[in-house]
Structures are given as structure tokens and as C-alpha cells.
Amino acid sequence: MLHTCEAFSMSESFFSLFVHWNRLSAILAKKIIMTHAQQVNEWKAGAALGFIPDDENPLFLLNGAAKDILVQILGGGIDIIELVRFELRSRGLNEEGRFVGFN
């Protein structure tokens, strides 16, 4: 059984760990957001300068998709990963993009 001082010390340690975890999470989230923003800027620049063809630029991947489809994807109603797998299979490709033939 813990004494009051030991219990206080442990709860203080958990609180400290919680605070540090929250700070670390915020820093990591900011880096992920910045990394994504930087990637988007690279795609924009590549498109503007003609380095990335439109059909190979991820920014234009969903350009033709209807609003309702985009909302369903965002809401989890459509699993875009499964759609990509389906598309690869229909092209005879595996998940690494290698041709494996049609089943």
C-alpha cells in the first residue's frame, strides 16, 4: 500500500508525463502539418513549372470527383484505400505497382 507522499509523488509524475506527452503531440502534429503543407507547395510548383504532368500530380487526383463522393470519403463512408487496391487489381498490378496479371 502506498503512503500519501508516495501516492502524491506518483500522481505528480503521471501529470508531468501527461503534460510532456501533450507538448510532444502538439510538436509532432505541427511537423506533420508543415510537412504536408510543404508537399502541397512542391506539387503546386511542379504543376506551375510543368515538371509534374497533371495526370501524375496528386493535387489533381480528385479534381473530377463529385462533391458527394468527396464528403463520403472524408466521412469514412468510402474507403479510398480499398478503391486504390481495386484499381490496381483491375490493372493487373500488386500493391507495389508490379504487374502480376489478371485473376
Q: What domain count does the chain have?
A: 2
Q: How many angstroms separate the CA atoms of 45 and 52, rounded?
A: 9
pLDDT of 70 above 70: yes
* pLDDT surpassing 90 at residue 30: no
Whether pLDDT at 16 is above 70:
yes
More confident residue, 39 or 20: 39
Determine the average pLDDT of the residues in 19-36: 73
Distance CA 34, CA 41 (A): 10
Q: Which domain holds residue 80?
A: 62-96
In a domain, 101, yes or no: no
C-alpha cell at 58: 496528386
| Domain presence at residue 2 | yes
Specify the pTM.
0.58
Is position 17 within any domain? yes
Task: Report yes or no on 102 lying in a domain.
Answer: no
Residue type, 88: L
Residue 86 lies in a domain: yes
**Residue 88 pLDDT exceeds 80:** yes
Domain co-membership, 48 together with 66? no
Based on the fold, state whether residues 49 and 69 are members of the same structural domain: no
- pLDDT surpassing 80 at residue 19: no
Residue 103 lies in a domain: no
Look at 19 and 68; give whichever has higher pLDDT.
68
